[in-house]
């Protein structure tokens, strides 16, 4: 039995190899952290419900992608149908930060004519002593591209919920305002079950059953 | 109660670590495995006797109708390295190029290649006791060497994620760095058409070819995928890139590879089609994208794939005819389509 949700958003998680994409998603969807995690080859899929306001649930479909450059020939097919994205870099790996621009360019080309709402995520913030990217410069870069910036740690479960939920809330606001619209042939946003209808039909079934007893 | 007792007894008898060093997962079905294995052991013994006779007198293994038939029925572990080396042409390459492997490792090194490999070596097979840091001997160093040598040998490919899993299996079977290298060369350089190069065109082509084969042979499944807008790359990337490593049970993967080395890349289609056909009804019950993904993971687990001997018989009967000529035609068509898409 599928839970009731208002909308379904499709999110994509991108960024260089080893920045911790799969670990972040696993922490968010399964609540666990593995010290060693296999590299992702190709694309993987996860899902979870989030409650953005009491009683208002959004279903998230989360696409995990391989970070190695050559896999982009496969992963780029998934940009087009995503409404939101988490663009990760590793705060202890300067190069992964320098590649943020390239990732944005790459998605821009392949998402046309749609757009992806991105949040920039500085991951592995538990390793603050090995930090190679300051919060200030990351915030500046994010602002330059009109993104929010958040620092997370899958290991210590810092801001993982917040990263996904804030992004979901922002997209929800854009949908509510009509800036993002549901479109035929686009999987980014889908409308869910209308709770009242489902509720009443369940009631009917229940009462019928009661009659049979 | 009796079932629980049997399960516990099986749990006590079957080792926690398999013969290849992989720790069995938490939810491993010891009772079912023991039942399967006691029957399989009889087959293994019979095959081992036949193979010993065939290979009597040493020397290389040459391709022949008999060898092909034998290989389909499974190569015993003690002969596996030698048979793979023989039928894939890896042995011939190694003999023709003495010292080449060592020279590759002594030559000038490519820093970014080294870094990419080092990162993945540390996270290859965390569930295998021989690949852990501090294992004695630790195979991480061996894996690093094989991948680095390959990256220098085939600069067009370099290193692609997924090759770490394949090289890892080759090392576990050959227990010999140089042989593992030449087998990797046979797979990546000859048997698989352009899977791991930066464009991954061969890989993408073959996923399209599978989609076409499903369209012809199992149209209802193709319709389901189309209906939900599911790209085949989502559900089968791992099958192709890792050649079923970490997808199917270890023993089954090795049986598949026996045939892959002997008969070539179309074996991958046979395995994929068999998995899908066998579970067609189950797949067709899917009602959403996540449901489809979950079901495609589910069909790679359980008795059907664990019972590798029966499974291997099925891959040659279930998908029906699959001629190399028709695969080549499909590959040409799909490749042209992908190139046109840019």
Annotated binding residue A92: no
What's the pLDDT score for residue B59? 74
- Chain A residues inside the 8 Å CB shell of B231: 77-78
CATH superfamily assigned to domain B201-341: Ypt/Rab-GAP domain of gyp1p, domain 3 (1.10.472.80)
Tell me: domain A5-189, CATH 2.60.40.10, correct?
no
User: What is the per-residue pLDDT for A208?
Assistant: 40
Q: How many Å apart are CA B133 and CA B1, to the nearest integer?
A: 41
Q: Show residues of chain A in contact with B289, CB under 8 Å.
A: 45, 61
pLDDT of residue B62: 85
Q: Which residue among B124, B161, B201 places its CB closest to the CB of A68?
A: B161
pLDDT in tens, chain A (213 residues): 456 899 999 999 999 999 999 999 999 999 999 888 889 998 999 999 999 989 899 999 999 999 999 999 999 999 999 999 999 999 999 999 999 999 999 999 999 888 899 999 999 999 999 999 999 999 999 999 999 999 999 999 999 999 999 999 999 999 999 999 999 889 899 998 655 444 433 333 343 444 443
Whether residues A42 and B290 touch (CB distance < 8 A) is answered with no
Beta-carbon contacts of residue B230 (< 8 Å; ≥ 6 apart): B289, B292, B293
Distance set, CA B77 to CA A212, B72, B74, B111, B296 (Å): 62, 14, 9, 37, 29
CB A80 within 8 A of CB B324: no
Q: How far is B160 from chain A (nearest CA, A)?
A: 8
Check whether A153 is labelled as a binding-site residue.
Answer: no
How many Å apart are CA B178 and CA B186, to the nearest integer? 13
> In a mutagenesis test of the A interface, which of B120, B234, B242, B335 is the best target, namely the one with the most A β-carbons within 10 Å?
B234
Residue A194 is predicted with a pLDDT of 56
Percent of chain B with pLDDT over 70: 99
Instruction: Inspect the interface and report whether the beta carbons of A42 and B126 lie closer than 8 Å.
Output: no
Q: What is the pTM of this model?
A: 0.92
Structural domain spans, chain A:
5-189
A124 is in an annotated binding site: yes
The reply, when asked if residue A38 is annotated as ligand binding, is no
Task: Judge: A43–B242 Cβ closer than 8 Å, yes or no.
Answer: no
Q: To the nearest 5 percent, what fractions of chain A are helix, strand and coil? A: 40, 25, 35
Q: Which of A2, A18, A42 shows the shortest C-beta gap to B237?
A: A42
SS (H, E, C) chain B: CHHHHHHHHHHHHCCCECCCCEECCCCCCHHHHHHHHHHHHHHHHHHHHHHHHHCCCCCCCCCCHHHHHHHHCCCCHHHHHHHHHHHHCHHHHHHHCCCHHHHHHHCCCCHHHHHHHHHHHCCCCCCEHHHCCCCCCCCHHHHHHHHHHHHHHCCCCCCCCCHHHHHHHHHHHHCCHHHHHHHHHHHHHHHCCCCCCCCCHHHHHHHHHHHHHHHHHCHHHHHHHHHCCCCHHHHHHHHHHCCCCCCCCHHHHHHHHHHHHHHCCHHHHHHHHHHHHHCHHHHHCCCCHHHHHHHHHHCCCCHHHHCHHHHHHHHHHCCCCCCHHHHHHHHHHHHHHHHHHC
- A1, A2, A41: best mutation site toward chain B, by most B Cβ within 10 Å? A41
CA distance B232 to chain A (A): 10
**Residue A43 to residue B164, Cβ atoms within 8 A:** no
Contacts of A37 in chain B (CB under 8 A): 123, 126
B233 vs B60, higher pLDDT: B233
Domain ranges of chain B: 94-191, 201-341
CATH number given to B94-191 = 1.10.8.270
């Amino acid at each position: 039995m599928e839970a009731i949700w208002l909308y379904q958003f499709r999110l994509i998680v991108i960024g260089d190899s080893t920045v911790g994409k799969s670990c972040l998603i696993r922490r968010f969807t399964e609540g666990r952290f593995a010290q060693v995690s296999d590299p992702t080859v190709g694309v993987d899929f996860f899902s979870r419900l989030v409650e953005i306001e009491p009683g208002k649930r959004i279903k998230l479909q989360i696409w995990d992608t391989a970070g190695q450059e050559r896999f982009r020939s496969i992963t780029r097919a998934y940009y087009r149908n995503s409404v939101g994205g988490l663009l990760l870099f590793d705060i202890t790996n300067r190069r992964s930060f320098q590649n943020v621009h390239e990732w944005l360019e790459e998605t821009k080309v392949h998402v046309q004519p749609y757009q992806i709402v991105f949040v920039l995520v500085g991951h592995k913030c538990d390793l603050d002593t090995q930090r190679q990217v300051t919060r200030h410069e990351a915030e500046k870069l994010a602002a330059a591209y009109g993104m929010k910036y958040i620092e997370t740690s899958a290991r210590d479960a810092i801001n993982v919920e917040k990263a996904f939920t804030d992004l979901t809330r922002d997209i929800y606001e854009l949908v509510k305002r009509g800036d993002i619209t549901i479109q035929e042939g686009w999987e980014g946003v889908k409308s869910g079950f209308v709770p009242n209808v489902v509720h009443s039909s369940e009631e009917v079934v229940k009462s019928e059953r009661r009659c049979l007893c | 109660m009796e079932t629980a007792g049997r399960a516990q007894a099986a749990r006590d008898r079957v080792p926690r670590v398999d013969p290849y060093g992989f720790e069995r997962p938490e939810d491993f079905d010891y009772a079912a495995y023991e039942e399967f294995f006691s029957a399989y052991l009889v087959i293994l013994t019979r095959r081992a006797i036949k193979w010993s006779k065939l290979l009597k007198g040493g020397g290389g293994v040459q391709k022949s109708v008999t060898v092909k038939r034998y290989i389909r029925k499974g190569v015993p572990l003690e002969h596996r390295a030698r048979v793979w080396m023989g039928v894939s042409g890896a042995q011939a390459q190694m003999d023709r190029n003495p010292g080449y492997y060592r020279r590759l490792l002594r030559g000038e090194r490519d820093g970014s290649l080294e870094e990419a490999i080092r990162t993945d070596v540390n996270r290859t097979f965390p569930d295998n006791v021989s690949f852990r840091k501090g294992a004695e001997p630790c195979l991480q160093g061996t894996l690093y060497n094989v991948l680095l040598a390959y990256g220098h040998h085939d600069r067009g490919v370099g290193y692609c994620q997924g090759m770490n899993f394949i090289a890892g299996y080759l090392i576990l079977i050959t227990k010999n760095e140089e042989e593992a290298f030449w087998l990797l060369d046979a797979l990546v350089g000859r048997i698989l058409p352009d899977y791991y190069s930066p464009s991954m065109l061969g890989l993408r082509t073959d996923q399209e070819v599978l989609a076409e084969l499903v369209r012809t042979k199992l149209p209802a499944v193709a319709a389901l995928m189309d209906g939900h807008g599911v790209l085949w790359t989502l559900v089968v990337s791992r099958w192709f890139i890792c050649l079923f490593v970490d997808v199917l049970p270890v023993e089954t993967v090795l049986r598949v590879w026996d045939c892959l080395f002997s008969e070539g890349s179309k074996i991958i289609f046979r395995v994929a089609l068999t998995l899908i056909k066998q579970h067609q009804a189950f797949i067709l019950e899917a009602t959403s994208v996540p449901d489809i993904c979950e079901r495609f993971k589910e069909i790679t687990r359980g008795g059907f794939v664990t019972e590798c001997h029966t499974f291997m018989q099925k891959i040659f009967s279930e998908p029906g005819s699959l001629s190399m000529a028709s695969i080549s035609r499909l590959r040409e068509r799909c490749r042209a389509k992908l190139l046109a898409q840019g």
